Amino acid sequence: MKKYNSVTMKHLHILLFSVFLFFGGLFSSCEIKDEPVVVSTFTQEMLGEYLEKRPEQFSEFVKLLDTTKVMSLVKAYGKYTMFAPDNNAMLEFYALKGRTELSQFTLDTLKMIAYDHLIKNFEITTNKFIEGLMPYLTMSERYVETSARTDDGVYNYYINQESKLLSRNIVTSNGVIHVIDKVMMPSTLTLDQALAKDSAFTIFYDALVETGLVYKIIAVRDESYDPLKWKHLDQNYHQGSGSRDEIPDSRKFGFTAFVESDATYAAHGIHNLDDLKAYAAANVYHENSADASVTDPKDPRNSLYKFVGYHLANKKMIKNKLIDMYYTKHMLTNYDMYEYIETMNPFTLIEVRKEAKALGGRNFLNYIHDTGESVQIVESNKDNDALNGVYHEIDKILIYDLKTVTEMSAKRIRMDAAAFFPEFTNNNMRIEDLDQPLSWVYPPGYIERLTFSEGTYFSYSNAFGGYLDYQGDEIFLKGLYDFELETPCVPAGTYEIRFSYQPTGARGAAQLYWDGKPCGIPLDLRITANDPLIGWVLPGADPEDPNGFENDKMMRNRGYMKGPNTYFDHINKWYGGKIARNSTASLRRILGIYTFDKASTHKFTVKAIREGQFMLDFLEFVPIEVIENEDVE
Amino acid sequence: MKKKSTNSKFRKYILWTGLWVISFFVVSCVDNEMQDTEPEWLGASIFDYLVTSGNFTNYVKLIEELDYKEVLSKTGSKTLFVATDSAFNEFYKNNTWGVTRYEELTLAQKKLILNFGMINDAYLVEMLSNYYNGGLAEGAAMRKQSAVSVVDSVPLVNGNELPETKYWDYYRDKQIYLLKDNTLRTIIFFTQKHLDQAQVTDDDFELVTGLSRKAKDAHVFGVKILKRDITCKNGYLNILESVLVPPSNMAEYVTSKNNMTLFSRLLERFSTPAYDQNNTLLYRQLNPDFSDSIFTKRYFAKEGPNGSYSGPPGKTVGAAMLLPFDPGWNSYARNAVGSALESDMAAMFVPNDAAMEKYFNSGAGAILKDRFKEWDSIPNEILPVLLKRHMRTSFIESVPSRFFKMVDVDNSPLPVKKEHIENVYIGSNGVVFETNEVYPPDDYSSVYSPVLLSANDVSPTRKTKIWDWAIAQNDFRLYLNSMVSRYSFFVPTDEYFQNYIDPVSFAQDSCAALKFWYNTRTNSVYATVYAYDRATNVVGSDSLAVITNVEFIKNRMLDMLNMNIVVDGVERGKSHYLTKGNVALKVKGSGEDMKIQGGANVMRNEEVNVTRAYNQLNGHTYFIDKLIQAPLQSVYSVLSKEESFRGFFDLLVGFPASSLSAIFVNKTNYFGIDFNVKFFNTFNYTVYVPTNQAVRSAIVKGEIVPWESLIESGDTIVKGINDLECLAEKNAAIENLERFLRYHFQDNSVFIDGQPLSYLYQSATMKKDEQPTHWGTFKNKFYRIGVAGSGDNLTLTTENNKKVNVDKSMGLYNIMTRDIVFNNRPSTFRNYDNSGSGATYISSRIYTSSTAVIHQVDDYLSYKTGLNPVRKK
């Protein structure tokens, strides 16, 4: 017997207010108008049952789900969001494809259509919609673009700009249904094909071909990866967030291109490929000056190659995933936050700065503090989605020149551990959903820049409000682990390197190595910051040291630092809802001072020497020039 | 139609209820509703079945003789594993007890056979893999406790059969009632469900049992169940392929094997008799004539029947001496989350005598032989790390298909290969793999090894007890055992642990020299204090105090450890090497001809000699005859005392104490012997000190403004900062002077040490503009200095391409200094003899330090590009 509840307006306002409090920060720059969320609940019906009971609306879509056996999925327990085309939409689709009925399509095609309309693990009501690509993937592993506009005075929501929501937020016991008037047909072009077809970026595309980099952005997925082969790794382990560690379903590749339009080039006197070559030759920074004379554009040392490579990353990052998604509720909104993206220009980074929310919360690429120069994404032409990537138009020329390397090598680079691994981004793991923290355990070889011993349990837990972690997420290990990861590249220089973690009684002890050399004696992760061995004192508790700066120096003398003052555990589950700097459960271990003669990646090795948990929050590379006057952020 | 039982209704009710409840818990597939009449399929009682079958006469005799007929005929719910007469006939032909017919079985043997094949509950075979552990764990069980009573037989053991250790000596000429263990023996099952769940492969099974198996086969230890789940009214009966002789536990097995004697003797050293009060009383009740005491053999172990066991009261051993588990513990249960007695058992890899001999005589174990001549002479303290490597807390994680990923408790790989396995024994508490290889711990081959092996040397000049204690206290063992690193490790032996000049006292009125010694009663290191005369460099002969405070001693030992480890070789032809603690060591010679000096050794004009050198897998260990002492002079101290450094020093100390530009500080978190360089940061540095002439030249050329006006022949050549009237001009001059001075401080200590070099280093002055420089330094980065040398000189190239040379003419180069950071100003502590006021001397701590090497240079360094304006009068 179905149960229908109408939610009162009062409740709706409360819900709406809460929802916007939760997501306001997350989608601050691109939220959709705050229409009331009207929820229809059918909590005694599964998604599949709801559709089956309404043949007048969904008989064709039901037929599709039955044929593809997806129906059994949506009639079982789980969490889904379904975009259900009604019968008119299905018939229109048949006609568009020159068919009259469902049976005229191949099973593979039908399965893809079914998967295009289904998002697993997340229940997405319209209050989570944003103007642009949402950070959730359909079961066909495509992003969904949401938008809203007023048509003839009526406010409507759209999916992929074309499919209008006829009814929305139908909540069943295993998910949410939005009824749409047009079957979703995402593009199947790969990133290189999508760029080739876009007439606004011809010069860049020519350069992409000229350098051969076009061939580096065509991979879609690792077909050799078979999750069934790794079932034995499943230990039914539940993280503190409550999420159960899963074996990744697939191993997808992904890419992002930051692209200047022909018009932008023209404004800089670049009208064709030769002009671009000349521009690159004149401006690209070469760490090794001999590279300047390399003329073969397919040689990674060549100027044009470096120029084009600097526009490409091996992560598929919709704009929201450049930095906004990681600016979780953990982060205090009065501070800037930074992300670093490795590019295909070998050993270079793009810095993404998220300005403090109080200042506007804008995003900048390669912001130069002295001059205020930066590159920004053109809002009107962002998130151009392709099968294996996305491209964004940028408003100025993005280049790794002397100015950029100067800026980059003289500032603290703090990298969240999740930023090390493109697999986390490309397989939609590095996301935050306040309702649904998730976690994964990784088979060997899944993460390219990571190796570990057979007995190592290497997992990642995405952002959860109870964690006192930078950006809310963490790498987590347990037992007797032994792993080595390759860091993203850092510019040449002398750095103090720090490792951030949360000490708790459940941890173990580990020997840490940097580039193969032990970093002092083993680190006991059970010792909390207020242990006399470390000497943490709550800032403000000592009247003679009101800001805790003297205590900071004392801790440094012992090889430790407090956590930064820029984030906290926002649901106060275990750590008292304290800012990391004010918590005994947040520490940075100073690994040592290291000199890197050239920009390069590095090896960070961790080997358990006392069984227990281990976690990695972030690594910091701090040029020694910065240390003397470093802030507490 | 089977005849109705004549048993009382009550008994039947109990039986049915029992079976029903059990089947509920084990998720039995027996579909048995409660009913008044017995179903046809239920069959006879276990005893009736055995009698009726006619081919279990041996078993029937056992049951009758041991008075179990009533139990197995009428009541109870049991699971029995029995063998046919033909299996018994095979058993009589060949068995370890030497029994050839039923009549030769002793009462104890009969009890063992019957009780060991009996579980006090009714289980279908497939249900044996389930157990209840707060919740039903399906397919997770491989063991159940048997019905064998601990006191079924209590052996009386002759003293000469006891382990040859001091713990047993009291009984050497006596006899002792000794249980091998006082917990219930367990029966081990290999069922399909458990093997699947534990991912134990058929190949694993075959290597462990020597049997091949088919799907759904079930085995008890290594005996196949031929016919299973014969349903009787009082339980289930299973017919085995052969007679199940109760296996020993792992410890019993190892000690009984004549080809494992060497390993067994090592293991036995960790055993001791423990008085067993409960079983003594129980046995006395059962045998009223018995008035003696019963003991149980126990092993020093972290895990045993009652948790950790470290020996009888008053004779306990330290935590480092405990085995991971008691190998004689029948009811072994792994101490891990989700683990229980039923779910797993232990495993041991026991090298046979041939393997032990091979290792000792020709393998990596030669270091042991060299030191101790024979296995029995190896001190107990050295053995736990070896034994632990061979004892595994989980059988499931030690099956052959997982050999490749086994690691020890220190996370070091255990390189067991299938071909190493000579024999396998399934004991009642675990599996013993007899191996033809020894798996030595890293402790036996790393640079730590000579310290471990010499910790109990009889000769104090070779004994390393103090250093071993320091390593344990400061958690350095695994650091030193890192096989991916290469170390040079200096080890002062116990005899030479004296004349340590304590840095805190060095800054006080009374200076102390400490002599460290190992207190065998407290198993801790103490320090005796002697007076040290700085002026004469003489250590007094009277002991003035004894320091027993562990934290104080640990702190000083940590400082010493850091300055006794070089992360690399020290026989690479250089004269100076930096230690882990950034302290430079001056090294001459190699191997046992090597001589070493730390900064304080140079100051005291003494050399530290290597007495013995060991070539280890991850580096070299050098035993030395004196303590290596880090410099006791700071940068401030050296500069202030040398007249040739006067010009530069005066510039450095001219900053007002409150100025943020001050270079020397003495304040919280910087408390040192005198003043510390403010921007030093637990690292190693070089300070280039221009000659007084060069400083004057910098002043005259206008590169800097001095603090005081330069007046010659009554003329003011340069107006000093202190005489400037314009505040802006003054501040600019101060900033310029600070930047000038900091350009003479360089990261990384660079010595003139016989080796050519050419490298760029950073100074301590930040570049604040975008002007191109000789070294192309970026804005907001430290200006750099190019350093090149042929081995006996150094030439510096500055950012403005100026060449400056180290001036050796006065011998003012390679001067070692150390800025130590204490937990407080030394003057705030009382003296070591408790004189003075303030906190106790033993509460003083060394927090950290930075070191620097000082060279005089023939000109000043300058980063400024363009022509320098020359000031005029």
Q: Mean pLDDT across the stretch B598-608?
A: 95
A473 in contact with B, Cβ within 8 Å = no
Give the whole-angstrom CA distance, residue A580 versus residue A584.
Answer: 8
- What average pLDDT does the structure give for chain B? 90
Find out whether B637 and B674 touch, Cβ atoms under 8 Å. yes
Q: What's the pLDDT at B44?
A: 82
* B669 contacts in chain A (CB < 8 Å): 550, 553-554, 557
Closest CA to B668 of B821, B865, B439, B473: B821
pLDDT in tens, B48-74: 999 999 999 999 999 999 988 888 887
Q: Mean pLDDT across the stretch B641-654?
A: 97
Is A238 inside a domain boundary? Answer: no
Same domain (yes/no): A356, A463: no
Question: How far A609 CA lies from chain B's nearest CA (Å)?
Answer: 5
Find out whether A100 and A94 touch, Cβ atoms under 8 Å. yes
Q: Residue B333: pLDDT above 60?
A: yes
B190 in contact with A, Cβ within 8 Å = no
Option in A493, A511, A557 nearest B482 (CB): A511
The string over B832-871, giving b where at least 16 C-beta atoms fall within 10 Å of a residue's C-beta and e elsewhere, is: beeeeeeeebbbbbbbbbbbbbbbbbbbbbbbbeeeeeee
Question: How far A403 CA lies from chain B's nearest CA (Å)?
Answer: 9
User: Token match 């191109």: residue?
Assistant: B772
Q: Residue B541: pLDDT above 80?
A: yes
For A456, the closest chain B residue by CA position comes to: B405
B778 in contact with A, Cβ within 8 Å = yes
Same domain (yes/no): A13, A69: yes
pLDDT in tens, B194-235: 999 898 999 999 999 999 999 989 999 999 999 999 988 888
Is A270 inside a domain boundary? Answer: yes
Q: Residue A164: pLDDT above 50?
A: yes
The string over B176-202, giving b where at least 16 C-beta atoms fall within 10 Å of a residue's C-beta and e elsewhere, is: bbbbbbbbbbbbbbbbbbbbebbebee
Closest CA to A258 of A210, A313, A320: A313
A480 in contact with B, Cβ within 8 Å = yes
- Count contacts between A and B (CB, < 8 Å): 100
pLDDT in tens, A114-152: 999 999 989 999 988 888 888 888 998 888 999 888 888
- Look at B21 and B724; give whichever has higher pLDDT: B724
Across the interface, whether the CB atoms of A406 and B779 are under 8 A apart is answered yes
- What average pLDDT does the structure give for chain A? 91
Q: What's the pLDDT at A27?
A: 37
Q: Residue A101: pLDDT above 50?
A: yes
Find out whether A565 and A588 touch, Cβ atoms under 8 Å. no
For B682, the closest chain A residue by CA position comes to: A557
Same domain (yes/no): A623, A478: yes
- Reported as a pLDDT band with limits 50, 70 and 90, residue B42 is low
* Residue after which a domain boundary falls, among A366, A384, A407: A407
Same domain (yes/no): A120, A259: no
Q: What's the pLDDT at B18?
A: 44
Q: What's the pLDDT at A357?
A: 86
* A531 contacts in chain B (CB < 8 Å): none
B845 in contact with A, Cβ within 8 Å = no
Same domain (yes/no): A476, A331: no
* B411 contacts in chain A (CB < 8 Å): 453, 480-482, 607-609
pLDDT in tens, A528-572: 999 988 999 999 998 888 999 989 988 998 899 999 999 999 999
Q: Residue A11: pLDDT above 80?
A: no
Across the interface, whether the CB atoms of B782 and A624 are under 8 A apart is answered yes
Q: Mean pLDDT across the stretch B418-436?
A: 96
Burial of B768 by CB count in 10 Å (0-12 exposed, 13-18 middle, 19+ buried)?
Answer: exposed
For A508, the closest chain B residue by CA position comes to: B410
Question: How far B388 CA lies from chain A's nearest CA (Å)?
Answer: 14
Domain residue limits at A603: 412-627
Query: Where are any strands of DSSP class E within B548-583?
Result: 565-566, 576-578
* Annotation: CATH topology of B449-624: FAS1 domain (2.30.180)
* B410 contacts in chain A (CB < 8 Å): 609
pLDDT in tens, A40-69: 777 789 999 999 999 999 999 999 999 999
Across the interface, whether the CB atoms of B405 and A454 are under 8 A apart is answered yes
Structure tokens at A330: 């953990």
The mean-pLDDT minimum among A227-241, A568-582, B746-760 falls in A227-241
Kindly state the helix (H) or strand (E) to which residue B503 belongs, with its residue range: helix B503-506
Q: What's the pLDDT at A433?
A: 83
* Contacts for B714-723: CB closer than 8 Å, 24+ residues apart: B715/B873, B716/B873, B717/B873, B718/B871, B721/B654, B722/B654
* A456 contacts in chain B (CB < 8 Å): none
> Terminal CA-to-CA distance of chain A, rounded, Å?
56
Q: Residue B255: pLDDT above 80?
A: yes
Provide the percentage of residues in chain B whose pLDDT is more than 70. 94
Q: Mean pLDDT across the stretch B278-294?
A: 93
Length of chain B, please? 873
Is A224 inside a domain boundary? Answer: no
Q: Mean pLDDT across the stretch B97-108?
A: 92
Across the interface, whether the CB atoms of A409 and B778 are under 8 A apart is answered yes
Across the interface, whether the CB atoms of B669 and A554 are under 8 A apart is answered yes
* Residue after which a domain boundary falls, among A149, A180, A211: A180
Same domain (yes/no): A151, A297: no
Q: What's the pLDDT at B872?
A: 35
Is A329 inside a domain boundary? Answer: yes
Is A185 inside a domain boundary? Answer: no
Question: How far B120 CA lies from chain A's nearest CA (Å)?
Answer: 32
Q: What's the pLDDT at B31?
A: 36
Q: Residue A302: pLDDT above 90?
A: yes
Q: What's the pLDDT at A35?
A: 63
Same domain (yes/no): A131, A20: yes
User: Token match 């560690």: residue?
Assistant: A245
Q: Residue A521: pLDDT above 70?
A: yes
Provide the percentage of residues in chain A whose pLDDT is more than 70. 94
For B821, the closest chain A residue by CA position comes to: A557
ipTM over the 0.85 cut-off: no
Find out whether B676 and B670 touch, Cβ atoms under 8 Å. yes
What residue type is assigned to position B34 of the chain? M
Total count of domains within chain A: 3
- Look at A497 and A21; give whichever has higher pLDDT: A497
For B763, the closest chain A residue by CA position comes to: A625
- Assign residue A73 the CATH number of its domain: 2.30.180.10
Surface of A (348-407) touching B: CB under 8 A: 402, 405-406
Q: Mean pLDDT across the stretch B608-623?
A: 95
Q: What's the pLDDT at A33?
A: 63
* A413 contacts in chain B (CB < 8 Å): none
Kindly state the helix (H) or strand (E) to which residue A192 belongs, with its residue range: helix A191-197
Pairing of strands A509-514, A517-518: antiparallel
Same domain (yes/no): A373, A496: no
* Contacts for B519-522: CB closer than 8 Å, 24+ residues apart: B519/B548, B522/B548
Q: List the CATH code of the domain at B9-148+184-246.
A: 2.30.180.10
Q: Mean pLDDT across the stretch B749-766?
A: 95
Provide the percentage of residues in chain B whose pLDDT is more than 90. 77
pLDDT in tens, B502-527: 999 999 989 999 999 999 999 999 99
Q: Residue A415: pLDDT above 60?
A: yes
Q: Mean pLDDT across the stretch B85-95?
A: 94
Q: Residue B3: pLDDT above 80?
A: no
Is A127 inside a domain boundary? Answer: yes
Across the interface, whether the CB atoms of A518 and B479 are under 8 A apart is answered yes
Give the whole-angstrom CA distance, residue A342 versus residue A330.
Answer: 25
Same domain (yes/no): A156, A197: no
Across the interface, whether the CB atoms of A494 and B669 are under 8 A apart is answered no
- Say which DSSP state A613 is in: B
Across the interface, whether the CB atoms of A624 and B567 are under 8 A apart is answered no
Give the whole-angstrom CA distance, residue B651 versus residue B642.
Answer: 14
- Say which DSSP state A243 is in: P
pLDDT in tens, B855-871: 999 999 999 986 444 33
Q: Mean pLDDT across the stretch B612-625?
A: 95
- Reported as a pLDDT band with limits 50, 70 and 90, residue A36 is low
Q: Mean pLDDT across the stretch B114-134?
A: 87
Most B-contacting residue of A236, A368, A521, A550 (CB-CB within 10 A), to test interface = A521
Option in A406, A481, A593 nearest B778 (CB): A406
- Reported as a pLDDT band with limits 50, 70 and 90, residue A280 is very high
Across the interface, whether the CB atoms of B681 and A493 are under 8 A apart is answered no
Is A188 inside a domain boundary? Answer: no
Option in B411, B482, B782 nearest A608 (CB): B411
Q: Mean pLDDT across the stretch B848-855?
A: 96
Under CATH, which architecture does the B635-857 domain have?
Roll (2.30)
Give the whole-angstrom CA distance, residue A194 versus residue B415.
Answer: 52
Q: Residue B40: pLDDT above 90?
A: no
* Start and end residues for every CATH 2.30.180.10 domain found in chain B: 9-148+184-246, 635-857
Same domain (yes/no): A349, A440: no
Q: Residue A5: pLDDT above 70?
A: no
Q: Residue B25: pLDDT above 70?
A: no
Instruction: Mention every residue, 6+ apart, whose C-beta is less than 8 A from residue B626.
Output: B492, B496, B499, B601, B606, B607, B608, B609
pLDDT in tens, B293-331: 999 999 999 999 999 999 888 788 989 899 999 999 999
Same domain (yes/no): A164, A104: yes
* Residue after which a domain boundary falls, among A119, A154, A180: A180
Q: Mean pLDDT across the stretch B458-466?
A: 91
Same domain (yes/no): A553, A436: yes
Pairing of strands B684-690, B846-857: parallel
B669 in contact with A, Cβ within 8 Å = yes
Give the whole-angstrom CA distance, residue B169 versus residue A38.
Answer: 85
Is A457 inside a domain boundary? Answer: yes
